[in-house]
Amino acid sequence: MIIMAIIEPKILKGTRDFGPNEAAKRLSVINKIRSVFIKNGYDAIETPAIEYAATILGKYGDEGDKLTYAFKDHGGRHIALRYDLTVPTARFVAANWTSLPMPFKRYQIGPVWRADKPQRGRFREFYQCDIDIIGSTSAMADAEIAKVVNDVFSTLGFNKFLIRINSRRLMNDILEQCKVKKSDRVEVIRQIDKLDKTSLKDVEKELEKTCLDKKQIKELSKIALSEKARYNLSDVPDGESKKEIDRVLSTIKQFGVPDKNITLDLALARGLDYYTGVVYEVIIPDSGLGSVCGGGRYDDLAELFSDKKFPGTGVAFGFDRIMTWLEENKKLDDVELSSKVLVVNFEDTIKENLRTLTELHKANISAEIYIEDAKMQKQLKYADKKQIPWVIVQGSNEIKRKKVILTD
């Protein structure tokens, strides 16, 4: 006789189980987000959770590579769990573009994985809800992304949210104005990206330590980093990138996005290496959650998988951070579970009980029957535990009178 050791039912740190109540809340929010995507003409795609490592690695910068779960499988193939949904989408478009409408508007909702340090609102396995427009360089495409972002947060009941917008092209023009060498620009952008987590003084110290002199830092702060400079274009050099951000901001207003929900922020960098143009980030003031949505334009990403050009723009909603805010602010307390009616199971009237259940299903009412022969009290406790609001009792007396007892 082989005695099997009991396996401790634990899960990895940074991952979570969701019971019926939590899962119902998550599904409710996903359905609201999906409804906004569909209303704006985005179609769903699905991509694998695992990809060849060459598809994933090298697209997010050194920090992204460090956080990617990459390993060899039993066949010796070097594979990786997807880090986000954007790179797999670029790979998908490069492989299937001849059969896709262009521009291609897609959405995808699913889990991604990062070997990050778990903390409030940050996990190793988490969901992203993405939209992308691929195949267009139009300012309207970038503006529509902001419009959909505004629609999603409004639909979810966020009273205060701020869509911050900037442009990588504009940042490069500013860095050129400050005589920053091309070889140093990626590092400078990475340091600027830390400005929301630390002080301007600390960022300036880090820039001086790594790549810039004091004169360059002073000029950069004057044009884009100081509190006075961050939110206007007055000191930014004229050029095509300045016109581009003006066009995008103007089109966003034409889409009907309220001024209070969007702001220019010249210090917004977004840390990923593949961004080339307009970038977005959404914050919830006073939430302490950091970015809850982010993205931007990536005109060269799909070219890594094809000799064709597929300019793209899009954002990823940080679903789990959004859930954290909604739950903490009691926005999901009224979400119900599936069953609305329990039909009590009596052994001597099972035929009639099942007929009643069938009638409820024909009327498109979510209902179930208790699947064991048990005392009434046990069946009512089951309904209570499952939060089923209505119970139908139909014993032999009720059948004779052609009635049912309906109780809440």
Residue 83's pLDDT band (cuts 50, 70, 90): very high
Mean pLDDT of 61-71: 91
Q: How far out from the chain centre does Cα 398 lie? A: 51
Q: Kindly report the average pLDDT of the chain as a whole number.
A: 92
Residues ≥6 apart with Cβ < 8 Å to 164: 262, 263, 264, 265, 268, 280, 281, 282, 283
Q: State the number of CA atoms in the 13 A half-sphere of 92 facing the CB.
A: 20
pLDDT tens digits along 26-45: 999 999 999 999 999 999 99
Residue 118 pLDDT level (bands cut at 50, 70, 90): confident
H helices present in 273-392, as ranges: 319-328, 350-362, 376-385
* Predicted local distance difference test score (pLDDT) of residue 211: 82
CB 347 within 8 A of CB 31: no
pLDDT of residue 383: 96
* pLDDT per position as a tens digit, 135-191: 999 999 999 999 999 999 999 999 899 999 999 889 888 888 888 888 888 888 888
Q: Calculate the alpha carbon distances from 257 to 131, 150, 162, 193, 206 in Å.
A: 18, 7, 11, 25, 37
Question: Residue ranges of the domains in the chain?
Answer: 20-328, 341-407
Nearest to 135 by CA among 277, 317, 308: 308
pLDDT at 271: 62
Residue 155, SS3 per DSSP: helix
Task: Count the Cβ atoms, other than its own, within 10 Å of residue 66.
Answer: 11
* CB-based contacts of 359, cutoff 8 Å, min separation 6: none
| CATH architecture of the domain covering 20-328 | 2-Layer Sandwich (3.30)
Question: Top-level CATH class of 341-407?
Answer: alpha beta
What are the distances in angstroms from CA 21 to CA 9, 13, 76, 120, 370? 20, 21, 41, 20, 20
Residue 32 CA to residue 313 CA, distance in Å, equals 22
Reported as a single tens digit per residue, the pLDDT across 198-235 is 888 888 888 888 888 888 888 888 888 888 888 888 88
